[in-house]
């Protein structure tokens, strides 16, 4: 595929299939081979590729407005989504909504909001977690070194505590929870004081 040599190496690549299009749960490469897509477009295409209803909705919206940036303009699809969210969110105090382009942006916004609300500087994440590929979310991501290597120093004040994953820890649920809680308490005594976290 012409141009592949010019794709940056910022992200790791799982495999090198050259996809032409998708149909439902399948990816079809440039040679016509079909692959079942277990990635689901990294969580954003759970309806399958080229779902007629989704494709039609995208085409209809593209004919009206391609990108109405939420911090610049108001538009009806955003208002409709807010109405729908308000109808399912049970807690009345959650009455404001923030829209962004990616999960990493949402994570960064959540960290900013938490720091603003608590006046604390440190963040604790679970070991083995993935939060994104921006500079802050790379510091919070501990699932693979490939996401962080070559970008040091990363944002300070990020600490990792073990997740109580009983299967991985080879413990029952109660023991795993006890272990994780013990390690969290140790972290709060040795690396990140509670009044900073």
The backbone torsions φ and ψ at residue 82, rounded to the nearest 5 degrees and listed phi first, read -60, -45
CATH number for the domain including 8? 3.90.1150.10
- Residue 49 makes CB contacts below 8 A (sequence gap 6+) with 21, 22, 23, 24, 25, 26, 27, 37, 41
Q: In terms of domains, do 74 and 147 share one?
A: no
Tell whether the model's pLDDT for residue 22 goes beyond 80: yes
What is the domain extent for residue 26?
A: 4-64
Task: Give residue-wise pLDDT tens across range 35-63.
Answer: 998 887 666 667 889 999 999 999 999 99
pLDDT at residue number 63? 97
Q: In terms of domains, do 55 and 81 share one?
A: no
> Tokens standing for 132?
């994104």
Give me the sign of the Cα torsion angle 74, 97, 46, 32: positive
Query: pTM, whole model, 2 decimals?
Result: 0.76
Beta bridge partners of 161: 126
Contact 140, 129 (CB under 8 A): yes
Contact 97, 86 (CB under 8 A): no
Structural domains counted in the chain:
3
- Which of 123, 117, 120 lies closest to 138, judged by CA? 123
Q: In terms of domains, do 112 and 136 share one?
A: yes
* Residue finishing a domain among 16, 38, 64: 64
Tell whether the model's pLDDT for residue 172 goes beyond 70: yes
Q: In terms of domains, do 190 and 110 share one?
A: yes
Contact 122, 136 (CB under 8 A): no
Neighbours of 50 (CB within 10 A): 13
Task: Give residue-wise pLDDT tens across range 95-140.
Answer: 889 888 889 999 999 999 999 999 999 999 999 999 999 999 999 9
pLDDT at residue number 43? 64
């Amino acid at each position: 595929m012409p141009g592949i040599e010019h794709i940056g190496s910022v992200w790791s690549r799982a495999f090198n299939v050259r996809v032409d299009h998708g149909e439902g749960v399948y990816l079809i490469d440039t040679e016509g081979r079909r692959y079942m897509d277990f990635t689901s477009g990294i969580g954003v295409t759970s309806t399958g590729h080229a779902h007629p209803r989704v494709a039609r909705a995208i085409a209809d919206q593209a004919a009206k407005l391609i990108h109405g940036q939420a911090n610049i303009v108001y538009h009806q699809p955003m208002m409709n989504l807010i109405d729908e969210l308000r109808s399912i969110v049970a807690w009345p105090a959650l009455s404001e909504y923030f829209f962004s382009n990616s999960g990493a942006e949402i994570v960064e916004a959540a960290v900013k909001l938490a720091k603003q609300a608590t006046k604390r500087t440190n963040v604790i994440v679970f070991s083995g977690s993935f939060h994104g590929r921006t500079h802050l979310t790379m510091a919070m991501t501990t699932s693979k070194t490939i996401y962080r290597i070559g970008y040091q120093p990363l944002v300070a004040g990020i600490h990792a505590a073990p997740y109580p994953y009983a299967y991985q820890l080879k413990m029952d649920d109660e023991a795993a929870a006890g272990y994780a809680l013990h390690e969290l308490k140790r972290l709060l005594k040795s690396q990140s004081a509670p009044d900073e976290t």
